[in-house]
Chain A
Amino acid sequence: MNPSGYFRRFFVRNGTALGTFLLLSVAFWMFVMIILPQAFMIDFSFRHNLPPAELGGAKDTYTTEHYEFMVYGSAESEGEFNTVDLGVFVRTLIAAFFVTLFDLAICYPIAYFLAHSAQGGWSRLMVLSLIVPFWVNEILRAFAFRIMFGSAGVINGFLMWLGVIDQPVDFIRENVALYAGLGYAFILLMIFPLYNAIESLDKNQIEAARDMGASWIRIHRRIVIPFAKPGISSGCTMVFMLSAGALAAPQILGGPSSLWFTQIIYQWFQTGNNWNRGSAYALILLASTIIFVLLMMKVFKVKLGEIAR
């Protein structure tokens, strides 16, 4: 279908007034809500951090100094690379990756059960019991996790009662609380795409495979997972992006000695009062997570269009 024909049909179907309105509102959304703010950030990231008086002056030129800083650090610092920031950056991506895997491992069985085994009433109850906890706001949830994982918290108490450990484990310092908190925060974003994908799989296909002697592992590997791949990738993409970009959970649950990359960005904006460097860092995070996700999609042979299904 050629584009002009498509537009003509769009207007014929919706009428000129409604068609114009729809088109304009989508354009407005795209431009004002997405493109414009990001364009400002991009512009920001390539400028010097100047006091207000010098903005627009002779010194206000384009520069890549903030991007260079992220890689090489300041001129005075020892060492060739900015090991601190780069280290945090890589660690954040790796941790977000594992949080995603962890969520996938937990959510896949749940989604499969909801979609294919649970009977009407049960599945509704389960979905409800998954959704309702998210009415609790993020900060309350995070602090509750902190208490739970604290040295006097229920988890340590339980493990000590079992006799698995005799000293409380510092889950906060070890970042266990952080990973658990992040994993929990995005669990619904993993379950629902998985559930939608698995639910649309014809039950007879599973039975047919079973009838031909396939084990459950093979049924999942050959039938269910390939079918659910678009759901798996859209769930993983969302969880990965949001974990890598999370701020509240790392602030509250992160160990004192380890930072999340978003916390560094936040520091540049807030305490460092260097918005230019902050936006450069944030854009680096954005670009690298997008590249990482596209790479993963390439590896697992998923097309971008499938994710939107």
Chain B
Amino acid sequence: MSADVELENVWIRFGDFVAAREVNITIPGGSFFSFLGPSGCGKTTLLRAVSGFMEPSEGRVKIGGKDMAGIGPNKRPTALIFQNLALFPLMTVWENIAFALEVKGVGKAERRKRADELLDLIALPDQGEKMVHELSGGQKQRVAIARALAAEPDVLLLDEPLSALDLKLRQHMRTELRAIQQRVGITFIYITHDQGEALTMSDNVAVMSEGVIQQVTDGNTLYDHPETSFVASFVGENNLFRGRVKETNAQQTVVETNVGPIRARTSTKAALNNGDPAFVFVRPESLKFANGAHADNNIKATVHTEEFEGHFWQVFLDVAGGDKRIKMSLVNEGTALGHAPGAEVDLSFSAELAVALPEGQLAAE
């Protein structure tokens, strides 16, 4: 069974400090949903409110349509996988996995059978008799997942479960987690500050900053259509140009920046009026060397360095009047770019691939 999770106007305060501010999210049952945000933005706090270790100061948490107020973590249809896994070191692997069944009073033979089934599910057959400390990091990871699944939760909550693993294992576990989610079909709520994880695994991602939900959508839309300056600067790389709105309509907005007017797409959500301070974001891969053909935007720049990365060329450029060095990514087409440092070049990009957003908070570098 899977269940919807709804957060209705949830606020969480610690004294004067607000850890979550007016959170409204509906997570469809059976989906893989991620909260993505920098460290300290309130992700764990929000997850604890869903699992029942903490009650929101205001607002409601509903699971499967049922209001969870006053219902403890042991009574909620959720299972939480902790940031540090919290496996029981004095129990064997199978006892760890079968703990939820032990709590329910299931007999030992039945527990063992179920634990073995789950060990098969996580591809660790015949490892039941081992102690937890005899497992590798990735194996512990999978045991923690099996232990949580044994409780047959409607919602599985995962608090940065991959953060302790090395890069390779992390990438492998991403695929594995997604596969397990699709096999068991329950709702997964996943927390991470790693955007790669969030974008690859999730049906939907909520980007969070300082307790505020910035945007909720699928990974693709998040990357291509950011709605706030925080999302634009946090998800993927972006070049920023600051300025003021010169003219705007439903499709396009012209922003007068230090490097001249830039024509950009008008964001669907964020309303801009003439004269408003605005940010224009252009992704490195949207920038091109001008080839004489007509383009919406043309800017002059000086090459600082060119870095060869095999698949890509990364070109760093200085723009007269720009406050930061900008970056351009070009697919390697087999020929050297051959710009000497200091070379003057013309860049162009289409208005469709640039977005104008109201001036706002930026992600820390």
Contact = CB atoms under 8 A, between A and B. Distances in A.
A39 interface: no
Interface string B70-106: 0011110011101110111111000000011011100
B2 interface: no
A211 B78 contact: yes
Contact of B90 (A210, A211, A212, A227): A227
Contact of B86 (A202, A213, A226, A227): A202
Interface in A218-242: 218, 222-223, 226-227
Contacts of B5: none
Contact of B88 (A205, A213, A218): A205
A208 interface: yes
Interface in A141-179: none
A212 B82 CA distance: 12
A212 B79 contact: yes
Contacts of B51: 211
Interface string A204-218: 110111111111001
Given A204-B84, A207-B82, A208-B80, A214 B74 contact: yes
B92 to A, nearest CB: 13
A73 to B, nearest CB: 49
Contact of A210 (B74, B88, B104, B148): B74
Contacts of B74: 210-215
A208 B82 contact: yes
Nearest to B83: A204
Interface in B171-195: none
Contact of A207 (B53, B78, B102, B151): B53
A204 B90 contact: no
- Name the residue among B72, B86, B91, B102 with the largest chain A CB count within 10 angstroms: B86
Contacts of B73: 207, 210-211
Contacts of B148: 212
Nearest to A201: B89
- Name the residue among B72, B75, B82, B83 with the largest chain A CB count within 10 angstroms: B82
Given A211-B74, A214-B74, A204 B86 contact: yes
Contacts of B151: 211-213
B68 to A, nearest CB: 14
Interface residues of A, number: 17
B86 A212 contact: no
Q: Interface majority SS on A: helix, strand, loop or mixed?
A: helix
A218 B100 CA distance: 11
Nearest to B151: A212
A212 B78 contact: no
Contacts of A226: 90
Interface in A169-193: none
Given A205-B86, A227-B90, A211 B103 contact: no
A277 B95 CA distance: 54
- Name the residue among A207, A210, A212, A226 with the largest chain B CB count within 10 angstroms: A212
Interface in B99-116: 99-100, 102-104
A226 B90 CA distance: 7
B316 to A, nearest CB: 44
Contacts of A210: 72-74
Contacts of B99: 209, 212, 214, 222
A222 B100 CA distance: 12
B104 A207 contact: no
A202 B103 contact: no
Nearest to B81: A208
Contacts of B104: 213
A125 to B, nearest CB: 21
Contact of A213 (B82, B84, B103, B147): B103
Nearest to B48: A207
Contacts of A227: 89-90
A231 B107 CA distance: 31
Contacts of A204: 82-84, 86
Contacts of B83: 204
Contacts of B52: 211
A218 B88 CA distance: 13
B87 to A, nearest CB: 8
A202 B84 contact: yes
- Name the residue among B53, B73, B83 with the largest chain A CB count within 10 angstroms: B73
A29 to B, nearest CB: 35
A115 B83 CA distance: 21
Interface in B150-177: 151
A218 B80 CA distance: 19
Contact of B79 (A202, A205, A211): A211
Given A204-B82, A207-B53, A207-B73, A212 B103 contact: yes
A158 B99 CA distance: 47
- Name the residue among A218, A222, A226 with the largest chain B CB count within 10 angstroms: A222
A215 to B, nearest CB: 8
Contacts of B102: 222
B238 to A, nearest CB: 36
A211 B91 CA distance: 17
A210 B74 CA distance: 5
Given A207-B73, A210-B74, A211-B79, A218 B103 contact: yes
Contacts of B88: 205, 208-209, 222-223
Nearest to A227: B90
Contacts of A218: 103
A212 B90 CA distance: 17
A211 B75 contact: no
A202 B132 CA distance: 15
23 contacts: A202-B86, A204-B84, A205-B86, A205-B87, A207-B53, A207-B73, A207-B86, A208-B86, A209-B88, A209-B99, A210-B74, A211-B51, A211-B53, A211-B78, A212-B79, A212-B103, A212-B151, A213-B74, A213-B104, A215-B103, A222-B91, A222-B102, A223-B88
Given A212-B151, A213-B100, A227-B90, 7 more contacts: A202-B86, A204-B84, A207-B82, A207-B86, A212-B103, A214-B74, A214-B99
**7 shortest A-B CB distances, which residue pairs?**
A204-B86, A212-B100, A208-B86, A213-B74, A204-B82, A213-B103, A214-B103
